[in-house]
């Protein structure tokens, strides 16, 4: 039972354009959502998070949007840079601001084309 789904295994975007990565979840108990980025041979690194009481959170080039009614969130990267090429994981927690027991999606491999 995949509670957090990333239906696009891969995405290619031209440098300078916007990258949009999508994530859907099924468990309405999830209260906090995070995005992680992973380079080969490294552990995942935190990018940005959003609480269920918000619908948008922005940090520099990265913006996360949350649509609770649709159980959908997205990560926008603009402008995309070659260093953004990585695997991106969406994750969800049942607790407000919580980092316990994160449930991860299967990841989307983003490739930025110079």
Partner 1 sequence: DTGVSQDPRHKITKRGQNVTFRCDPISEHNRLYWYRQTLGQGPEFLTYFQNEAQLEKSRLLSDRFSAERPKGSFSTLEIQRTEQGDSAMYLCASSTRSGTGELFFGEGSRLTVL
Residue 43 binds partner 1 (CB under 8 A): yes
Nearer to partner 1, 91 or 110 (CB): 91
The answer to the question of residue 12 lying near partner 1 (CB under 8 A) is no
**Cis geometry, peptide bond prior to residue 79 (ω within 30 degrees of 0):** yes
CB-based burial, 28-60: b 16+ in 10 Å, e otherwise = eebbbbbbbbeeeeeebeebbbbeeeeeeeeee
Residues present in the chain in total = 114
- Residue 34 as a binder of partner 1 (CB under 8 A): the answer is yes
Which one of the spans 12-20, 65-73, 74-82, 102-110 is the region binding partner 1 (CB under 8 A)?
102-110
Q: Which residues bind partner 1 (CB under 8 A)?
A: 4, 32, 34, 36, 41-46, 49, 89, 91, 93, 97-107
């Amino acid at each position: 039972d995949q509670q957090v789904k990333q239906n696009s295994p891969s995405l290619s975007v031209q440098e300078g354009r916007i990258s949009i990565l999508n994530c859907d979840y099924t468990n309405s108990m999830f209260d906090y959502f995070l995005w992680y980025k992973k380079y080969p041979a490294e552990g995942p690194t935190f990018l940005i998070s959003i609480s269920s009481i918000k619908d948008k959170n922005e940090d520099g080039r990265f913006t996360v949007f949350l649509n609770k009614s649709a159980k959908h969130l997205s990560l926008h990267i603009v402008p995309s840079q070659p260093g953004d090429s990585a695997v991106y994981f969406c994750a969800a927690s049942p607790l407000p601001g919580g980092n316990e027991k994160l449930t991860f999606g299967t990841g989307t491999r983003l490739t930025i084309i110079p």
